[in-house]
């Protein structure tokens, strides 16, 4: 029998402080980049979750030393920018698209063979958007289904990659990062031009490792490097994508009052705050500071009356991972919410647009319309209890939990996928629930 998780309706609100787990994107990069340095880097508030541990496993297989001092604290010591070694086994990216795509950029110009696999979900996700530009730089990459899917092999080319200017058809931090990381090993500068600026964690952290980065609107340029100068320490701020569930839950569950501690507020990631403010959410930013080169703050959220809104492709790179939980907010808002330009969601851990429509409509039939590249959400409909499937997608599972808690309850089939990014999510929900 498949495991399920029952979330009851919460009538008396959420109260207290929530310390947000380390940012997943920054946790990945902190380990990868530290492995390219030659001195120890102390990383704190690391997200000890399945996706990030897939990165740790790959980095260890490539010869870097990773020592955990606690669950969220570790020291990574690399052997220099050109010091990675040929893995003795197939590299397993698990469920992590970030691990796979960024590691492909790092390994594209290495003088050894590397081969990737992953879980069932990752095997279905197309990698062409990363493989195409890397091959244009000279990399030899081979995979299943016309070199677009796992398993994928990267074959040494015996010379440096070619620096180039690449006009990316999509605004994607993973695509941009893979190309920029490959550019460190190229023979000339490499530039990525995006239609809209995507999250810039790679650029921020490369600067922290002594790499000069040039930006001009949506263009980013990196030059070949001989060495990286690793910082002594990196403190990973809390993940705003994880904070998003509490931002919405605190807004829609009556009598809620939450303080979210140490949340990263990098401007390329704060689309969720912009949209919730536009919907009328009572959210305030407190105690702003800088953490590991990234902006962080505490966020106060209280119950509010939300109204529908409309947003599309221009803001999408800043909140693509938050669409499922924003759809929950929209269900409790007055009026319609129209989301466009979200076609990328069809190629995540699951087709998230279809998953949202299929599962969320179980709570309020006809409330959500699945459009070609987005959703139309009719807010204010009467909710009912539902039994829903997670699709083994952590963001769908957590969004369903918030929806059930704000509504009349939910039973989630296959709930443990939250371990991919937020292992303590269900426990935290119980801790802040008012009796």
- Reply yes or no on whether the pLDDT at 2 is more than 70: no
Q: Place 126 in a pLDDT band, splitting at 50, 70 and 90.
A: confident
Overall average pLDDT of the 118-132 stretch: 95
- Reply yes or no on whether the pLDDT at 291 is more than 80: no
Nearest-angstrom CA–CA distance, 26 and 288: 18
* Percentage of the chain lying above the pLDDT 70 cut: 99
Q: For residue 158, what is the domain's CATH number? A: 3.65.10.10
Q: Place 292 in a pLDDT band, splitting at 50, 70 and 90.
A: low
Tens digits of residue pLDDT in 146-198 = 989 999 999 999 999 999 999 999 999 999 999 999 999 999 999 999 999 99
Q: Dihedral angle at the C-alpha atoms of 267, 273, 279, 281, nearest 10 degrees? A: -150
Q: Give the residue numbers spanning the domain of 253.
A: 4-21+239-432
Q: What is the model's pLDDT at position 293?
A: 72
Nearest-angstrom CA–CA distance, 368 and 430: 28
Query: Are 219 and 331 within one domain?
Result: no
Nearest-angstrom CA–CA distance, 39 and 393: 37
**How would you classify residue 50: left for phi > 0, otherwise alpha for psi between -120 and 50, otherwise beta?**
alpha
Say whether 51 is catalytic.
Answer: no
Query: Are 379 and 402 within one domain?
Result: yes
Query: Are 427 and 335 within one domain?
Result: yes
Query: Are 57 and 130 within one domain?
Result: yes
Query: Are 190 and 262 within one domain?
Result: no
Overall average pLDDT of the 345-362 stretch: 95
Mention every residue, 6+ apart, whose C-beta is less than 8 A from residue 330: 279, 306, 308, 309, 337, 339, 377, 379
Query: Are 47 and 148 within one domain?
Result: yes
Overall average pLDDT of the 416-435 stretch: 93
Q: What is the model's pLDDT at position 431?
A: 96
Task: Cis check for the bond before 151: say yes or no (omega within 30 of 0).
Answer: yes
Query: Are 141 and 78 within one domain?
Result: yes
Strand, helix or coil at 117? strand
Nearest-angstrom CA–CA distance, 429 and 406: 12
Query: Are 171 and 274 within one domain?
Result: no
Q: Place 434 in a pLDDT band, splitting at 50, 70 and 90.
A: confident
303 phi and psi, to 5 degrees?
A: -55, 140
Query: Are 138 and 244 within one domain?
Result: no
Question: Is 233 part of any domain?
Answer: no
Nearest-angstrom CA–CA distance, 269 and 11: 31
Query: Are 259 and 183 within one domain?
Result: no
How many domains in the chain? 2
Tens digits of residue pLDDT in 49-99 = 999 999 999 999 999 999 999 999 999 999 999 999 999 999 999 999 999
Query: Are 17 and 66 within one domain?
Result: no
Q: What is the model's pLDDT at position 215?
A: 97
Query: Are 158 and 185 within one domain?
Result: yes
Residue by residue, DSSP assigns 50-84 as HHHHHHHHHHHHTT-EEEEEETTEEEEE---TT--
Q: What is the model's pLDDT at position 435?
A: 59
Overall average pLDDT of the 363-381 stretch: 96
- Reply yes or no on whether the pLDDT at 1 is more than 50: no
412 phi and psi, to 5 degrees?
A: -105, 120
- Of the residues 194, 223, 252, which one is the last residue of a structural domain? 223
The catalytically annotated residue of 23, 119, 239, 321 is 321
What is the pTM assigned to this prediction?
Answer: 0.91
Tens digits of residue pLDDT in 254-282 = 999 999 999 999 999 999 999 999 999 99
- Reply yes or no on whether the pLDDT at 433 is more than 60: yes
Question: Is 231 part of any domain?
Answer: no
**What does pLDDT average to over the chain?**
96
């Amino acid at each position: 029998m498949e495991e399920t998780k029952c979330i009851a309706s919460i009538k008396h609100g959420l109260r207290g402080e929530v310390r947000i787990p380390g940012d997943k994107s920054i946790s990945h990069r902190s380990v990868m980049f530290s492995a390219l340095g030659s001195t120890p880097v102390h990383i704190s508030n690391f997200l000890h979750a399945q996706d990030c541990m897939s990165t740790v496993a790959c980095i260890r297989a490539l010869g870097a030393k990773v020592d955990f001092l606690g669950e969220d604290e570790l020291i990574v010591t690399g052997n220099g920018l050109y010091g990675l070694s040929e893995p003795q086994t197939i590299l397993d990216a698990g469920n992590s698209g970030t691990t796979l795509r960024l590691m492909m950029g790092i390994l594209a110009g290495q003088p050894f063979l590397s081969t990737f696999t992953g879980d069932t979900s990752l095997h279905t996700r197309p990698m062409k958007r990363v493989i195409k530009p890397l091959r244009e730089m000279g990399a030899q990459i081979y995979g299943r289904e016309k070199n677009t899917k796992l398993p994928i092999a990267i074959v040494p080319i015996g010379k440096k990659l070619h620096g180039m200017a690449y006009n990316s058809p999509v605004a994607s931090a993973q695509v941009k990062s893979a190309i920029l990381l490959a550019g460190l090993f190229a023979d000339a500068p490499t530039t990525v031009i995006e239609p809209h600026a995507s999250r810039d964690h790679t650029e921020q952290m490369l600067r922290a490792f002594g790499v000069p980065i040039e930006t001009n609107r949506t263009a980013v340029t990196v030059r070949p490097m001989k060495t990286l100068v690793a910082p002594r320490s990196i403190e990973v701020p809390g993940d705003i994508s994880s904070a998003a569930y509490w931002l919405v839950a605190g807004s829609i569950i009556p009598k809620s009052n939450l303080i979210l501690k140490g949340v990263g507020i990098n401007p390329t990631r704060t689309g969720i705050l912009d949209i919730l403010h536009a919907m009328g959410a009572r959210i305030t930013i407190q105690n702003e500071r800088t953490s590991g080169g990234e902006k962080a703050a505490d966020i106060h959220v209280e119950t509010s009356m939300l109204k529908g809104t409309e947003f599309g492709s221009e803001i999408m790179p800043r909140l693509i991972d938050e669409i499922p939980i924003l759809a929950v907010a929209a269900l409790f808002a007055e009026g319609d919410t129209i989301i466009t330009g979200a076609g990328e969601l069809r190629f995540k851990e699951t087709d998230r647009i279809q998953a949202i429509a299929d599962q969320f409509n179980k709570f309020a039939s006809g409330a959500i319309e699945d459009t070609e590249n987005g959703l139309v959400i009719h807010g204010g409909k009467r909710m009912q209890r539902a039994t829903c499937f997670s699709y083994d997608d952590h963001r769908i599972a957590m969004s369903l939990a918030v929806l059930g808690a704000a509504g009349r309850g939910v039973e989630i089939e296959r709930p443990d996928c939250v371990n991919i990014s937020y292992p303590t999510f269900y426990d935290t929900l119980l801790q802040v629930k008012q009796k």
